[in-house]
Amino acid sequence: MPNDVVTLTPVILSGGSGTRLWPLSRPEMPKQFLPLTGEDTMLRLTLARTVGMSNAAPPIIIANWAHADLLEKQVPGDSPLILEPSARNTAPAIALAALAVEDPSAALLVMPSDHVIADLAAFHRAIQTALPLVAEGWLVTLGIAPSGPETGFGYIALGRELGDGAQQVDRFVEKPDRAKAEAMLAAGNHVWNAGIFLFRADAYLAALGQFQPDMLASATAAYRQGRRDGRFLYPDPESFAACPSDSIDYAVMEQSDRVGCVPVDMGWSDVGSWDVLHSIADKDEDGNAAGVHATLIAARNCLVRSDGPRISLIGVEDLIVVATEGEVMIVPRGQSQMVKKAAEAAAAR
């Protein structure tokens, strides 16, 4: 079955604005373009994850037009770069990519540009597991084995087996409250929806035509009337502005009855907050992840990120401190979901 798939084309969604990691992440420099989790930027680490996949074509990157220069710098080679003239969420963005691949039977591997995957081998194995279903026209999502009753993710209830290592999706569950999350964890057979998808380009476009015909029409018009400039594609702004805005989850995955899931445990993290970044960072024996710009005196379980100012933490516990370009943000651990409010206040200044 995998032999039916001519190519595997990674599609990297890089249009996020990343307000939850303010002030390092800003509208003009969202988190995927920053080296938040390692020595390279999150986008480049995402690109690196596609190296070594069999039959893989150069990745297609979809991003906000305002970040053209960042893409030019960070994406090597001849990867196509699609620059959205406006934000229309993931379903239309993926449609542009599906239209851009030459072979309509090509498999797309759709993934966000700002996740961490620690176990690369497990990731690649999950993709190989998915490909036979993809070849048959299934829409496939990777499901993350839950490590706790998280309330920040959507869940997937798994149904019947679809061959080795894959199951049909019974239903998608929106971000639950704590009790519901614990119930799903106790019940088993539920995984996190990580927003990583595999399907044939033609299967996605067919599903979009079935469930969101207006979206397909607008995206197709935007693509066809688009302007090319080297490896950049600029979809037509007017047509794309007319496109309904929705996520692939709502617009397509939750509508279709041919949706499969490959559960996988691959050290995944969405790096969705400073708290997550502290949890995945290398820490000293006192639980601090502080870096070279910090002086720690009786400090415990703190995260410090500074691109210049020296941060002296004295007798402080469970604090997140981020300093960059004239901004110093301080929030207790466990409360970093409030950072978004500070980002909004900063944008309004």
> Is residue 316 part of the contact set for a copy of itself (CB under 8 A)?
yes
CA 235 to chain centre: 22
Tokens matching residue 62: 């979809």
CB 334 → a copy of itself: shortest distance, Å?
Answer: 9
Cβ closest to a copy of itself, residue 194 vs residue 323: 323
CB 35 → a copy of itself: shortest distance, Å?
Answer: 21
CB 64 → a copy of itself: shortest distance, Å?
Answer: 25
CA atoms within 13 A on the CB side of 207: 26
CB 290 → a copy of itself: shortest distance, Å?
Answer: 12
Contact 174, 210 (CB under 8 A): no
Residues with Cβ within 8 Å of 84's Cβ and at least 6 positions away in sequence, in order, are 15, 62, 63, 64, 65, 93, 96, 235, 240
Stretch that binds a copy of itself, among 35-43, 189-197, 250-258, 332-340 (CB under 8 A): 332-340
Contact 143, 156 (CB under 8 A): yes
CB 336 → a copy of itself: shortest distance, Å?
Answer: 8
Cβ closest to a copy of itself, residue 25 vs residue 193: 25
Which 4-23 positions form the footprint of a copy of itself (CB under 8 A)? 23
> Is residue 311 part of the contact set for a copy of itself (CB under 8 A)?
yes
The DSSP H or E segment spanning 237 is helix 237-241
CB 295 → a copy of itself: shortest distance, Å?
Answer: 5
> Is residue 321 part of the contact set for a copy of itself (CB under 8 A)?
yes
Cα–Cα distance for residue pair 86/178, rounded to 1 Å: 35
What is the CB neighbour count within 10 angstroms for residue 331?
19
Residues with Cβ within 8 Å of 63's Cβ and at least 6 positions away in sequence, in order, are 14, 15, 70, 71, 81, 82, 83, 84
> Is residue 314 part of the contact set for a copy of itself (CB under 8 A)?
yes
Closest alpha carbon to 223 in 87, 91, 90, 83? 83
> Is residue 341 part of the contact set for a copy of itself (CB under 8 A)?
yes
What residue type is assigned to position 155 of the chain?
Y
> Is residue 297 part of the contact set for a copy of itself (CB under 8 A)?
yes
CB 287 → a copy of itself: shortest distance, Å?
Answer: 16
Of the candidate residues 102, 224, 327, 347, the single one contacting a copy of itself (CB under 8 A): 327
What residue type is assigned to position 108 of the chain?
L
> Is residue 319 part of the contact set for a copy of itself (CB under 8 A)?
yes
Cβ closest to a copy of itself, residue 187 vs residue 348: 348
Closest alpha carbon to 217 in 205, 228, 233? 205
> Is residue 284 part of the contact set for a copy of itself (CB under 8 A)?
no
> Is residue 312 part of the contact set for a copy of itself (CB under 8 A)?
yes
Question: For binding to a copy of itself (CB under 8 A), which residues are involved?
Answer: 23, 295, 297-298, 306, 308-316, 319, 321, 323, 326-332, 335, 338-339, 341-342, 345-346
